[in-house]
Amino acid sequence: MTEMIRERIRAIIAEQAMLEPEQVTDTSSPEDLGIDSLGLVEAIFAIEEAFDISIPFNANEPEKSDFDISNMGTIIAAVERLVADKAA
């Protein structure tokens, strides 16, 4: 399950960053990948659509969001939680 989530998110982020999925590692931050604020909002929308979840994210205060976007690892962990909450 975790692996499937990880791969789908990697594919979404890679597409947004115009990179190959292999170039997106768990420690990559959105800035590392060249994703700006609008690109991030777009990627979050794509993740919401892919997993049918709602991600609490306000572009005005990304650091205060419950959804930690520091790097790929934190994004994947947050999506896993939201997917698990939805299944529960």
Partner 1 sequence: MSPEGPADKADAVAPAIAPGSNRGARHGLRRVVITGAGTINALGHDVASTLEAFREGRCGITQLDFRDVDRLSIQIGAQVHNWTPETYFNRQQILLYDKFTQFTLLAAKQAVAQSGLNFEGALGLRSGVVLGTAGGGLNTWDENYRAVYEEGKNRVHPFVVPKLMNNAAASHVSMEFGLRGPAFTVATACASSNHAMGLAFQMVRSGGADVMLTGGSEAMLCFGGVKAWEGLRVMSKDACRPFSANRNGMVQGEGAGVFVFEEYERARARGADILAEVVGFAMSSDAQDIVMPSAQGAERAITGAMVDAALDRDEIGYINAHGTGTAANDKTECAAVAHAFGHHADRLMISSTKSMHGHLIGGTGAVELLACIMALRDGIIAPTIGYQEPDPECALDVVPNEAREVRIAAVLSNAFAFGGLNAVIALRRA
Return the closest-CA partner of residue 40 out of 77, 82, 68.
68
Q: Does 38 bind partner 1 (CB under 8 A)?
A: yes
Least distance in angstroms from the C-beta of 60 to partner 1: 4
**Per-position b or e across 55-66, b if 16+ CB within 10 A of its CB:** bebeeeebeebe
Residue nearer to partner 1 on the CB measure, 48 or 80? 48
* 66 interacts with partner 1 by CB under 8 A: no
Which tokens in the block code for residue 29?
Answer: 């931050």
- Residue from 18, 20, 27, 59 in contact with partner 1 (CB under 8 A): 59
Half-sphere exposure (CA, 13 Å, Cβ side) for 52?
2
Interacting residue ranges for partner 1, rule: CB under 8 A: 36-38, 41, 44-45, 54, 57-61, 64
